[in-house]
Chains A and B, each alone.
Chain A
Amino acid sequence: MTAAAMPDPRPRSGPLLAVSNLCVEFPTRHGTLRAVHDVSFEIAPGEVLGVVGESGAGKSLTGAAVIGLIDPPGRIAGGEVRLDGRRIDNLPYETMRRIRGRQIGAVFQDPLTSLNPLYTIGRQLVETVRTHLPIAPAAARDRAIALLEEVGIPAAARRIDQYPHQFSGGMRQRVVIALALAASPKLIIADEPTTALDVSIQAQIIQLLKRLCRDHGTSVMLVTHDMGVIAETADRVAVMYAGRIVEVGPVADVIHRPAHPYTVGLMGSIPSIVEERERLTQIDGTMPRLDAIPKGCAFHPRCARAVERCRSDRPDLLAVGATRAACWLARG
């Protein structure tokens, strides 16, 4: 472990992050839209939880709700978020600001917009370090260089005085990860961290994230639409559809033995570089709009196996084999 790492010796018990019955709403002229519905999950210390889903499934909003970054008029309308047993979803702005960065780091999709183009990356790193940790400027700069070295930026001592535009996309994302790690948070929310990157650079960033989590025992909530990234990185995965978790379980089980028809369709629709198929599994239709979520199971209009009960009653998440799925059919 390098000088940048500050191990946390306190033994923990129970989950690091516990989200229960989280709801996120957006009031609009045409009524209130509920983008995240009754979402509950836990992340254990050192665990990587993948959250997948298609555009509009509510996966990014769930991540934003955890760090308290829902833009008004959106708001958390119900449920709780607990970090290490402490409730954090109802904290005053200033208190939450201290937790963000110190206890929960964030990595977003576009590394260029996550960095301020007018400041050197060194200044941004030192600012972050000194906001959260009581150390002198010189020590903060040493720590910033150590962080850059840790995320694999060559000649860190020289490059620390450069501006974001002088870095390539992959290197910028490394800087963003260094920023997220600056105060050794216990949890990192990574929202599509590799989506803007080319495949070879994406592989480097995935490796980096995995190594850092292992070395520091950091938990990660990895939000992405890319099932391949989840397969490589996550321990468990939650599949979201129309604002709800429809299936959650260990990554190998969800990928190879999915229980929910949506997960089955999603896995079948992903082309593979190994297997040859004449046709991909097709889920007809699209995800419903937030103002027109069907009654019963939200997936029933697209589900080939839907029965009468699916149209009237909404299934809850229940254990099916190794995973938990919200489907009437899966429970036999």
Chain B
Amino acid sequence: MADPLLQLTDVARTFDVSSPWLNRVLERKPRALLNAVDGVSLSIGRGETLGLVGESGCGKSTVARLIVGLHEPTRGTIRFDGVALTGVGATDGVDYRNARRGMQMIFQDPYASLNPRWRVADVIAEPIRALAPRTTKAEIDSRVAALLAQVGLAAADGIKYPHQFSGGQRQRISIARALSTQPRFLVCDEPTSALDVSVQAQVLNLMRDLQRRLGLTYLFISHNLAVVHHIADRVGVMYLGRIAELAPTRRLFGAPQHPYTRMLLAAVPDLAMSGRARTAVAGEVPNPLDPPTGCAFHPRCPYAADRCQREVPALKPARVGGEVACHAVDESRLESV
């Protein structure tokens, strides 16, 4: 990508999940390190939506938190709009603050992410007050009213409290808050997972409208493949802290390459195929504290060979487009779909 808005290069994050020091000494336990994100490289173009999918514990939410700065990466570089936020050449001056202002996050649970004791207008105004403290009250009021209208709520809703709204409306409030600093980039971590399908459709339609109108770029994280298929331009599939496959949406869903992607797609119950026989999917995600050697997917993979047990596959361009991290695909051992 020529000029990506966001670029992650070999980003990793390790969490120390060891027992307390005394237990380690008495029980002779070693330190336990969890590689939540283990060398993720990706870039997101301006105005694009990148979907990130994977099962619980694959590290997709950690990637979101690393990007917005809620966690510091253990290694690697995150560049936003040409400014290095972490790693080599990281700045902490005006450029850094402007870059941080350009990104906001929408969280999964609209019941937990809004302060129940604040009026909605204050919730939405907080980022403005924090990042542009010299904004006058009149200006803030008119901005809040405009933001509420933008997400389909009434300006009069500003004096209400979060509990007076339904889940879908609360997620609209979260979106209004995220938009209050006029960001260019939104990190959306499972924004519709807590919502009913009809409400999910409202929020997804709203997000698409806002993207068109404001030229936003999204990183859209979800475990729901159908939602990602609907909203994303490109999709990355994560497995145990690494990207298994990254490709344009149509290519990923039409011709999945990585055996894990194929397995995930086969497992999705779909309305159109009522009554079809399901491909059996074996095994479970291994314990991330004790990941398998080589390719982390090899114990569940029907195409695993010796090399898969020894060597971690790198993410390489695939012949059908996109990138795949799989020895079997690389060696053409897999028939193409």
Contact = CB atoms under 8 A, between A and B. Distances in A.
Interface of A: 54-55, 168, 170-171, 198-204, 206-207, 225-229, 231-232, 251-252, 255-256, 265-277, 279-284, 286
19 contacts: A54-B198, A168-B284, A171-B284, A200-B264, A203-B266, A204-B280, A206-B278, A228-B268, A231-B275, A232-B274, A270-B271, A271-B201, A272-B272, A273-B270, A276-B229, A282-B205, A283-B198, A286-B166, A286-B168
Given A225-B196, A270-B197, A198 B285 contact: yes
Nearest to B194: A55
A76 B315 CA distance: 59
Interface stretch (B11-19, B21-29, B64-72, B219-227): B219-227
B230 interface: yes
Contacts of B168: 286
A228 B224 CA distance: 12
A203 B281 contact: yes
B209 to A, nearest CB: 9
B140 interface: no
8 cross-chain pairs, A with B, having the tightest CB-CB distances, nearest first: A228-B269, A269-B201, A271-B230, A54-B196, A203-B267, A280-B201, A198-B55, A271-B226
B221 to A, nearest CB: 15
Nearest to B168: A286
Nearest to B276: A232
Interface in B62-83: none
A272 B270 contact: yes
B160 interface: no
Interface string B86-105: 00000000000000000000
Interface string B276-297: 1010110011000000000000
Interface string B23-54: 00000000000000000000000000000000
A170 B202 CA distance: 31
Contacts of B155: none
Contact of A199 (B264, B273, B280): B264
Nearest to A278: B208
A198 B274 contact: no
